[in-house]
């Protein structure tokens, strides 16, 4: 990677020809088959206390191609097949380090359809991308320009549940540079009524993307439920209609969060958030739908990687810190603070508080305190499993 240049993925939609659809569909199927075969082989070996790594599965792939049953694996580019073995190796590495669960088999219906090509598996010239085993370049809609003289290191082709085709190009982006340092710091309290409340007093409304399309989604889901089970054309069409509504919701949510996090990172040097365990919070059946729609985990993920890009700092305050019950004026702690209480007055100093603004101010104060004593906060997540560095578990021993 070029010095001081960040790796950045540029994702575009493309419209393949019938021949390209057939080739990519075959590749997706072969990628899934190789992943599952290698996972089964490694699982059996692990049960026997034997070690199987990427090199061993790569040798297995060569042998599989020579069999009559799996000879079709040689009809597609070998690059995505080798890449899926590398992805499986990464999955096992994360499992043994206790950063992830044991790898699962890929499903034909539910798993993401994708294939990753390295530089030996594609040609990128004059703004045209041609994949291995193809004669024509992909019909990409270049919705934004690539960096000047960009040379993609990897290309990932995928198809979502709505049937849309995407290509993602990983490139060095010289425009990603640390921003000028500022003295600005902000505390950020997430919520449902308001998506974000800042310590400045600003409240950012929750767009509730899923609620806007809930009626259409429910109607499409009812229609799907009434279709006969199996792979019939009517059921496929109904499933695609549901997927398109979900994709519309997801696209709007992602676009809004990208704009929001970019603005916050550009305006502030230090950003303080609460270290919430969203996966536990969605177990509350009454609030699970609203919490999922708010996408707090996605907000944090975007905020953290953009802060790393632009030389900003994100501080996560421990989830047990009583940000809502603590008076930001005098430090007195209220005994109870049910969620229904949106405004309260401190019994000690008489200060009137907006619940969310007060919480954001307390988060900011606690976050700034970490630069002095480091108490009560956790660092940015740096592991794929999302655990903080202070909560790392003992790695599993690989046989």
Q: Exactly one of 116, 274, 293, 304 is catalytic; which is it?
A: 274
Among residues 116, 173, 189, 313, the one annotated as catalytic is 189
Q: Is the dihedral of CA 340, 342, 343, 347 positive or negative?
A: positive
Write the Ramachandran bin of 34: left for phi over 0, alpha for psi from -120 to 50, otherwise beta: alpha
DSSP 230: S
Return the CA Rg of the chain. 25
- Tell me the C-alpha distance between 288 and 284, whole Å: 6
Distance CA 175, CA 44 (A): 47
Collapsing DSSP states into helix, strand and coil, what is residue 390?
helix
Our CA angle for 336, 340, 346, nearest 5°, is 45
Largest CA distance in the chain: 81
Whole-number Å distance between alpha carbons of 388 and 329: 30
Residue 277, Cβ neighbours under 10 Å: how many? Answer: 10
Q: Where are the alpha helices (DSSP H) in 4-121?
A: 18-47, 54-65, 78-96
CA 319 vs. chain centroid, Å, equals 21
Q: Which residues contact 331 (CB under 8 A, 6 or more apart)?
A: none
How are beta strands 185-190 and 270-274 bridged, if at all? parallel
Are 357 and 373 in contact by the 8 Å Cβ rule? The answer is: no
Q: How far apart are CA 393 and CA 99, in angstroms?
A: 8
| Catalytic-labelled residue, pool 116, 173, 313, 356 | 356
Query: Strand 343-345 vs strand 352-354: parallel, antiparallel, or unpaired?
Result: antiparallel
To the query of whether residue 274 is one of the catalytic residues in this protein, the response is yes
Helix count and strand count (H, E) for the chain: 10, 15
End-to-end CA distance of the chain: give it in Å, rounded: 34
**Dihedral of alpha carbons 238, 241, 246, 247, sign:** positive
Told to judge if 68 belongs to the known catalytic residues of this protein, a careful annotator would answer: no
CA–CA distance, 99 with 300 (Å, rounded to integer):
18
Would residue 356 show up in a list of annotated catalytic residues for this protein?
Answer: yes
Q: Which sequence positions are flagged as catalytic?
A: 189, 274, 356
């Amino acid at each position: 990677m070029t010095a001081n240049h960040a790796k950045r993925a540029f994702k575009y939609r493309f419209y393949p020809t019938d021949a390209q659809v057939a080739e990519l569909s075959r590749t997706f199927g072969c990628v899934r088959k190789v992943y599952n075969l290698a996972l089964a082989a490694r699982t059996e070996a692990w049960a026997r206390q034997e070690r199987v790594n990427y090199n061993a599965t790569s040798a297995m792939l060569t042998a599989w191609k020579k069999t009559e049953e799996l000879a079709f694996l040689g009809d597609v580019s070998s690059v995505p097949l080798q890449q899926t073995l590398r992805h499986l190796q990464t999955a096992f590495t994360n499992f043994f380090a206790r950063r992830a669960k044991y790898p699962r088999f890929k499903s034909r219906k539910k798993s993401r359809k994708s294939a990753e090509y390295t530089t030996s598996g594609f040609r990128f010239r004059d703004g045209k991308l041609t994949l291995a085993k193809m004669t024509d370049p992909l019909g990409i809609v270049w919705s934004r320009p690539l960096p000047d003289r960009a040379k993609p290191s990897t290309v990932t082709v995928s198809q979502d549940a709505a049937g849309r085709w995407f290509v993602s190009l990983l490139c060095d982006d010289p425009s990603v540079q640390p921003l000028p340092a500022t003295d600005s710091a902000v505390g950020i309290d997430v919520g449902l009524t308001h998506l974000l409340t800042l310590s400045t007093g600003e409240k950012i409304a929750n767009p509730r993307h899923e609620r806007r399309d809930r009626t259409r989604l429910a109607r499409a889901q009812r229609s799907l439920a009434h279709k006969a089970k199996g792979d019939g054309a009517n059921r496929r069409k109904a499933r695609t209609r549901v997927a398109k509504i979900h994709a519309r919701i997801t696209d709007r949510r992602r676009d809004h969060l990208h704009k929001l996090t970019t603005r916050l990172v550009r305006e502030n040097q230090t950003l303080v958030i609460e270290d919430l365990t969203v996966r536990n919070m969605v177990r509350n059946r009454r609030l699970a739908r609203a919490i999922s729609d708010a996408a707090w985990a996605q907000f944090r993920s975007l905020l953290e990687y953009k802060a790393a890009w632009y030389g900003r700092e994100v501080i996560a305050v421990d989830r047990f810190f009583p940000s809502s019950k603590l008076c930001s004026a005098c430090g007195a702690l209220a005994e109870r603070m049910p969620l229904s209480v949106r405004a309260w007055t401190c019994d000690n100093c008489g200060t009137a508080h907006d619940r969310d603004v007060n919480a954001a101010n307390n988060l900011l104060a606690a976050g700034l305190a970490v630069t002095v004593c480091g108490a009560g906060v956790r660092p940015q997540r740096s592991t794929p499993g999302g655990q903080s560095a202070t909560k790392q578990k003992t790695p599993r021993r690989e046989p």
